Amino acid sequence: YLDRPEANAEAFAADGFFHTGDVGEYDEVGYLRLVARMKELIISGGYNVYPREVEDALRLHPAVQDAAVVGAPDAEWGEVVTAYCETDGTVTGDELIRFVGEHLAFYKRPKRVTMVDALPRNALGKVVKGELGR
């Protein structure tokens, strides 16, 4: 980070390692799997929720074409899991919350679900999560 000492101090550890912002976990046989980005991590009531995990669970529902999950500020929980879903119109937000509850722990269930015609995407087709909820 050229001419940005504060950015360098934040990005590099004292031992010289670069903090990528990726979150990973090892599986039962020792393979490392990337599961999230730190900036996307939702901390709700002290629990870590990885948006990708919730998005994958939502996409299991046959009425969901795509989903994006973000954290929304909440006075009680700090952040709450909030989902935006492209669907075929045959499912409600409450049904999706119950559906996700069948696949994930209670604290990972979205507290809010908003149906959208289309998720905001950039020129490469990637969902622009910063535009959700505006």
Regions of the chain with pLDDT less than 50: none
Left (φ > 0), alpha (ψ -120 to 50) or beta: where does 128 sit? beta
* Whole-number pLDDT of residue 33: 82
Helix, strand, coil shares of the chain as percentages rounded to 5? 25, 35, 40
Q: How far apart are CA 11 and CA 39, in angstroms?
A: 13
Reported as a single tens digit per residue, the pLDDT across 43-81 is 999 999 999 999 999 999 999 999 999 999 999 999 999
Rounded to 10 deg, the angle between the 51-59 and 93-101 helix axes is 110
* Whole-number pLDDT of residue 7: 83
* Whole-number pLDDT of residue 134: 66
* Whole-number pLDDT of residue 16: 85
* Whole-number pLDDT of residue 36: 61
H helix runs in 1-134, sequence order = 5-11, 51-59, 93-101
* Whole-number pLDDT of residue 10: 81
Lookup: tokens for 20: 């990528």
pTM of the model: 0.77
